[in-house]
């Protein structure tokens, strides 16, 4: 199936099964804003718990924070967001569609890379066992020609971004004959800068209202509280502050469902270190965060690092962790070595010292910072993209059937078990209800007695429930039930008394955290 179709199906599935709804749908929606339904909110909460516990529970030197969305407007002047939190935008005059100019160029680069990958794959098939990929990449003229194009374009693009040379960015688009995907033409406007922050007014106009911003990242709330936490928590460097909260960006182009939203949630951790040690910590956090992703078991080949060519004004190293979405490898998390830029800026703009007294060195300094920053919603999309599977099943009469199953890691699944009486009589519903009432304190359980048992299994597969428990006529006789496993569809007969332990072992966050 084409990857575009897979993605469309995924979006439809999220809506049909109560995961994600367009915001304000009865008013035709609000662009790039979404609501999470009854299952979506559970998955989101579980993702947040996985992240929070891996930071705050597993590390003695990381503590949490919940700072306000509204902050003093000078914070955004100090951080550079008022002057520099811009994206370059460009319009196609024929389709009237708006694009991020940098993204158009990145997509063109990705196409050139795809051409190389295709050549390599073709050759791999042709030469089978004797294929030497390294040699092929070094000698094949078509691969080499494309590699030269990529390298030249990368260098030119990086320079244009670093110099914020908008005319040159447009020229790159023209020279590379990049066309609008809708109109197919090269009739472009000039490239302009667009600030991504939303603003509003605080206080009534009579008193002189203040322009304030909706935070575009949660990080600044951590920086301005750095000394509050350090002093009251008696934190010693190196230490980290973790925060989960909403962020807002007036994104130029917001397609691709919850990948790029105007209101979203971030999980950010700022790790304060001694100046000079930051690149070592940067390396360590790269590894730690990659392990966190891969522990979910979606296949290490689907993740990669993408080191930044253009560093943000505050960074001396930066990388993205990318996942292979149905629409290609894209960023899920950013890891940045932010130097002492933010704390120094706040020191200057507020006139307050932002220094740490290091008892071991006997001196005060402004710490350097490593940031790990991940979007909850983007992580959500990564997980459902990886989990959504369509399986072809052979039926007894020889025909085939499609089973849609969300293979969510058990800990993340919104509902852990569904308890189903085979029929709605003979005392079976009462037994099922009793099981639910006993287990509801441990797990999110669902009682389900509607439709045939096969349809009930399919409904639970579609929402990702890892276990279905069926109560049949044997149950009143010997206290046993069948437990059906979502992924293998295997069924096992166990006693009611065993259920708690069997399920606990498989759905606990502990076993996931222990892999880290
Ligand atoms: P992009 O290049 O995709 O715009 P970014 O580099 O601006 O992202 P960061 O500022 O590093 O992103 O934000 C950290 C994380 O926050 C991202 O890795 C992503 O998971 C999430 N994020 C950023 N912008 C959005 C958005 N508009 N919608 C959803 N998640 C977002």
Residue nearest to atom 18 of ligand 1 (CA): 333
* Among 375, 383, 385, residue to substitute to test ligand 1 (most atoms within 8 Å of Cβ): 375
Cα 504 to averaged position of ligand 1 atoms, centre (Å): 35
Mean pLDDT (10-residue bins), the chain, 516 residues: 82 97 95 96 98 97 98 95 91 93 93 92 88 90 93 92 91 95 94 94 73 96 97 96 97 87 98 97 98 96 91 88 94 97 97 95 96 98 97 88 95 97 95 97 96 95 98 96 96 96 93 91
Where helices occur in 351-498 by DSSP H, the ranges are 376-387, 428-439, 453-463, 475-478
Return the closest-CA partner of residue 389 out of 457, 256, 486.
486
Residue nearest to atom 22 of ligand 1 (CA): 375
Ligand 1 atom nearest residue 333's Cα: 18
Q: 231: which residues sit within 8 A by CB, 6+ positions away?
A: none
DSSP codes joined into one string, 263-310: EEEEEEEEEEE-TT-HHHHHHHHHHHHHHHHHTT-S-GGGEEEEE-SS
For β-strands 467-471 and 417-421, DSSP reports them as parallel
Return the closest-CA partner of residue 35 out of 380, 293, 461, 331.
380
* Torsion sign, CA atoms 425, 426, 427, 431: negative
Ligand 1 atom nearest residue 249's Cα: 27
Q: 365: which residues sit within 8 A by CB, 6+ positions away?
A: 274, 275, 355, 356, 358
* Torsion sign, CA atoms 250, 252, 255, 259: negative
What is the CATH number that goes with domain 410-513? Answer: 3.40.50.800
Strand order in the sheet with 98-100: 98-100, 86-91, 192-195
Q: How far apart are CA 46 and CA 387, in angstroms?
A: 15
Q: Reduce the secondary structure of 158-204 to three states and give it as a string.
A: HHHHHCCCHHHHHHHHHHCCCCCCCCCCCCECCCEEEECCCEEEECC
Cis peptide before 238, with omega less than 30 degrees from 0? yes
DSSP 8-state code for residue 367: P
333 with 372: CB under 8 angstroms?
Answer: yes
Q: How far apart are CA 479 and CA 438, in angstroms?
A: 15
Cα 71 to averaged position of ligand 1 atoms, centre (Å): 20
* Among 246, 290, 334, residue to substitute to test ligand 1 (most atoms within 8 Å of Cβ): 334
* Among 101, 194, 264, residue to substitute to test ligand 1 (most atoms within 8 Å of Cβ): 264
Cα 373 to averaged position of ligand 1 atoms, centre (Å): 8
Residue nearest to atom 26 of ligand 1 (CA): 260
Q: How far apart are CA 356 and CA 369, in angstroms?
A: 13
Ligand 1 is surrounded, with C-beta below 6 A, by 217, 249, 251, 260-261, 264, 266, 331-334, 373-375, 377-378
Cα 379 to averaged position of ligand 1 atoms, centre (Å): 11
* Torsion sign, CA atoms 474, 477, 480, 481: positive
Residue nearest to atom 23 of ligand 1 (CA): 375
513 with 431: CB under 8 angstroms?
Answer: no
Cα 454 to averaged position of ligand 1 atoms, centre (Å): 41
* Among 81, 289, 378, 383, residue to substitute to test ligand 1 (most atoms within 8 Å of Cβ): 378
Residue nearest to atom 29 of ligand 1 (CA): 260
Cα 374 to averaged position of ligand 1 atoms, centre (Å): 7
Residue nearest to atom 9 of ligand 1 (CA): 334
Cα 67 to averaged position of ligand 1 atoms, centre (Å): 19
Q: Reduce the secondary structure of 64-116 to three states and give it as a string.
A: EECCCCECCCHHHHHCCHHHHCEEEEEEECCCCCEEEHHHHHHHHHHHHHHHH
Q: How far apart are CA 32 and CA 36, in angstroms?
A: 13
Where helices occur in 464-514 by DSSP H, the ranges are 475-478, 499-507, 509-514
Check residue 220 and give left, alpha or beta (phi > 0: left; psi -120 to 50: alpha). alpha
Residue nearest to atom 3 of ligand 1 (CA): 331
Cα 238 to averaged position of ligand 1 atoms, centre (Å): 26
Q: How far apart are CA 155 and CA 135, in angstroms?
A: 25
* Among 106, 196, 259, 260, residue to substitute to test ligand 1 (most atoms within 8 Å of Cβ): 260
Strand order in the sheet with 328-339: 62-65, 239-248, 263-273, 368-375, 328-339, 317-325, 303-307
Residue ranges per structural domain of the chain: 410-513
Q: Which long-range contacts (CB under 8 A, 24 or more apart) does 156-163 make?
A: 157/102, 157/105, 157/109, 157/309, 158/309, 158/310, 161/102, 161/309, 161/310, 162/310
Residue nearest to atom 5 of ligand 1 (CA): 334
Q: How far apart are CA 477 and CA 496, in angstroms?
A: 12
């Amino acid at each position: 199936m084409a990857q575009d179709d897979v993605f469309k199906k995924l979006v439809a599935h999220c809506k049909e099964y109560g995961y994600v709804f367009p915001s304000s749908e009865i008013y035709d929606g609000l662009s790039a804003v979404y609501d999470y339904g009854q299952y979506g909110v559970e998955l989101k909460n579980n993702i947040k718990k996985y992240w929070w516990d891996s930071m705050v529970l597993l590390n003695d030197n990381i503590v949490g924070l919940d700072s306000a969305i509204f902050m003093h407007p000078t914070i955004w002047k100090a951080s550079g967001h008022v002057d520099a939190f811009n994206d370059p935008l460009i319009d196609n005059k024929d389709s009237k569609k708006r694009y991020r100019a940098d993204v158009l160029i990145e997509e063109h680069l990705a196409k050139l890379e795809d051409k190389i990958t295709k050549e390599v794959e073709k050759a791999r098939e042709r030469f089978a066992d004797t294929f030497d990929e390294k040699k092929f990449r070094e000698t094949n003229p078509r691969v080499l020609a494309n590699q030269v194009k990529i390298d030249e374009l990368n260098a030119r693009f990086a320079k244009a971004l670093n110099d914020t040379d908008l005319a040159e960015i447009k020229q790159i688009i023209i020279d590379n004959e990049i066309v609008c995907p809708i109109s197919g033409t090269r009739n472009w406007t000039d490239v302009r800068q667009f600030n991504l922050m939303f603003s509003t007014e605080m206080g009534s106009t009579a008193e002189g209202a203040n322009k304030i911003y909706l935070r575009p990242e949660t990080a600044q709330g951590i920086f301005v509280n750095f000394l509050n936490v350090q002093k009251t928590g008696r934190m010693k460097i190196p230490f980290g502050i973790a925060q989960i909260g909403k962020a807002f960006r007036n994104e130029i182009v917001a397609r691709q469902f919850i990948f790029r939203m105007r209101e979203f949630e971030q999980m950010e951790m700022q790790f304060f270190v001694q100046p000079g040690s930051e690149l070592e910590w940067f390396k360590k956090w790269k590894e730690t965060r990659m392990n966190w992703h891969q522990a979910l078991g979606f296949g290490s080949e689907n993740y990669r690092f993408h080191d930044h060519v253009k560093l943000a004004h505050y960074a001396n190293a930066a990388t993205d962790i990318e996942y292979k979405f149905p629409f290609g490898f894209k960023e899920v998390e950013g890891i940045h070595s932010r130097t002492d830029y933010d704390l120094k800026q706040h020191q200057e703009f507020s006139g307050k010292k932002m220094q740490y007294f290091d008892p071991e060195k006997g001196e005060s300094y402004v710490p350097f910072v490593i940031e790990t920053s991940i979007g909850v919603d983007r992580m959500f999309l990564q997980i459902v993209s990886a989990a959504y599977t369509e399986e072809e099943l052979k039926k007894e009469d020889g025909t085939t059937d499609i089973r849609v199953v969300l293979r969510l890691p058990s800990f993340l699944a919104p509902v852990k078990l569904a308890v189903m009486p085979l029929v709605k009589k003979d005392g079976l519903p009462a037994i099922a209800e009793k099981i639910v009432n006993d287990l509801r304190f441990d797990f999110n359980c669902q009682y389900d007695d509607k439709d045939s048992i096969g349809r009930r299994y399919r409904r639970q597969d579609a929402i990702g429930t890892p276990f279905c428990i069926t109560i049949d006529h044997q149950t009143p006789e010997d206290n046993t039930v069948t437990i059906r496993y979502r992924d293998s569809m295997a069924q096992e007969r166990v006693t009611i008394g065993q259920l708690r332990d069997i399920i606990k072992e498989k759905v606990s966050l502990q076993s996931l955290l222990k892999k880290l």
